[in-house]
Amino acid sequence: MKFAPITDRLAGLGAAKWAVHAEGLRRAGLGEEIILLSIGEPDLPPPASVINKAASAMRQGRTRYAHGQGEPETLIAIAKHLTNRSGFLVTPEQVLYTAGTQNGLCTALLTLVQVGDEVLVPDPYYATYEGLVAASGATFVPVETLPEDNFHVTAQAIENAITSRTKVLLLNTPSNPTGAVLSMSEIDAIGEVCKRHDLWIICDEVYADMTYDAPFCSPFDRPHLRDRTLAVSSISKSHALPGFRAGWVACHQDVIPRLTLVAEAMLFGSQPFIEDALAVALNEKHPEVERLRLAFRERAETLIKSFAESKAISARMPEGGMFIMLDVRKTKLSGEEFAWQLLNQHNVSVMPGESFGNGGAGHIRIALTVESEILRDACARIRSLAEKLVASVI
What residue spans in the chain does CATH classification 3.40.640.10 cover? 48-283
Assess contact for 37 and 349: CB atoms under 8 A. Answer: yes
Helical (H) or strand (E) element with 338: helix 335-346
pLDDT given for residue 12 in this prediction: 81
Predicted confidence (pLDDT) at residue 154 exceeds the cutoff of 70: yes
Say whether domain 48-283 belongs to CATH 3.40.640.10. yes
Statement: residue 240 has pLDDT above 80: yes
Query: How many Cβ atoms from other residues are within 10 Å of residue 260's Cβ?
Result: 19
Residues of the chain with CATH 3.90.1150.10: 5-45+287-393
Residue-wise pLDDT for 68-94, tens only, equals 999 999 999 999 999 999 999 999 999
What is the band of 250 on the pLDDT scale with cuts at 50, 70, 90? Answer: very high
Task: State pTM to two decimals.
Answer: 0.95
* Maximum Cα–Cα distance across the chain: 68
**Which amino acid is residue 91, in one-letter code?**
T
Query: Is 3.90.1150.10 the CATH number for 5-45+287-393?
Result: yes
Are the CB atoms for 119 and 170 separated by under 8 Å? yes
How many residues comprise the chain? 394
Closest CA to 194 of 142, 153, 159: 159
What's the confidence (pLDDT) of residue 64? Answer: 94
* pLDDT tens-digit series, residues 350-384: 999 999 999 999 999 999 999 999 999 999 999 99
pLDDT at 228 over 90: yes
Q: Are residues 132 and 183 in contact, defined by beta-carbon separation less than 8 angstroms?
A: no
As to burial, measured by CB atoms within 10 angstroms (0-12 exposed, 13-18 middle, 19+ buried), residue 73 is middle
